[in-house]
Amino acid sequence: MSAEVEKAPTAQSTLSVIVPVFNERATVAEIIRRMRRVPLPVALQIVAIDDGSTDGSDQILSALQDSTLKFVRQPSNQGKGAAIRAGLKAAKGDLILIQDADLEYDPDEWPKLLDPILKGKADVVYGSRFTGERKNMMPLHWIGNRLLSLITNVLYSTTLSDMETCYKLFRRSALDRVTLRANRFDFEPEVTAKVLRAGYRIYEVPISYAGREVSEGKKITWRDGFVALWTLIRCRFGPL
């Protein structure tokens, strides 16, 4: 059964953007700068979670902390999913968005993601890298992403084009209906599977994408694809 879409958020709504950070010294200050300059119809809270960086990323974030940026440091590297769960504990907003700390995703796309929720059309919005302009991915990443989206569609009776996208925007109330346990990159399939099982229909909008190479710091590998596949299967038949 589909969950009923809630009423459009009010002008008093707050967007909490959770930024998991692990060894992103070269890009983290720039992504925070870009995030702060985006014009938004809602209040903004940035929640940056340093996940045990060893390259000084935590020092940069500490220096950038102010009334709009909440900085939380994990004592050791636990993974993207664990960082996001820590971010959820610190987030105050009724709207939650995930933003990577590299420059692959452009914060100028946020209004496009927010639009369906602000108009009362959706409770969960994903930005699709496969329907907007993009720098082409490495072939193995392209194949893996498309295959995992196809398996998601078969298992959960949906029509997603990009399950693995970083840009996932939720009403907080939708996330409160599921229990998240993933520690690493399995956050993407877990949260997708569980919101779908909770009855939410995911709204997709096209986004631009500038993927980086492994030599530039990309961390996800082919091994994570097998973990994602198992997560999709496990969540299809396990508890929410």
Closest CA to 115 of 12, 203, 5: 203
Model's pTM, two decimal places? Answer: 0.90
Residue 217 is predicted with a pLDDT of 47
Antiparallel, parallel or unpaired: β 43-51 and 69-74 = parallel
CATH number of the 14-237 domain: 3.90.550.10
Distance in angstroms (rounded) separating the CA atoms of residues 168 and 140: 22
- Domain assignments of the chain as residue spans, ordered by start: 14-237
- Res 210: pLDDT: 87
Let me know: does 126 contact 119? Beta carbons within 8 Å. no
The two three-digit tokens of residue 156, written as one number: 């959960």
Q: What's the DSSP call for residue 50? A: E
Q: Return per-residue pLDDT of the chain as tens, 240 residues.
A: 578 788 777 668 999 999 999 999 999 999 999 999 999 999 999 999 999 999 999 999 999 999 999 999 999 999 999 999 999 999 999 999 999 999 999 999 999 999 999 999 999 999 999 987 666 666 667 787 899 999 999 999 999 999 999 999 999 999 999 999 999 989 999 999 999 999 999 999 999 998 755 544 455 665 777 899 999 999 998 776
Q: Identify the pLDDT of residue 215.
A: 46
Q: Which helix (H) or strand (E) holds 24?
A: none
Alpha-carbon distance values, 234 to 56, 105, 126, 202 (Å): 37, 29, 22, 20
Dig out the tokens for 59 from the structure: 């020092």
The confidence score (pLDDT) of residue 11 equals 61
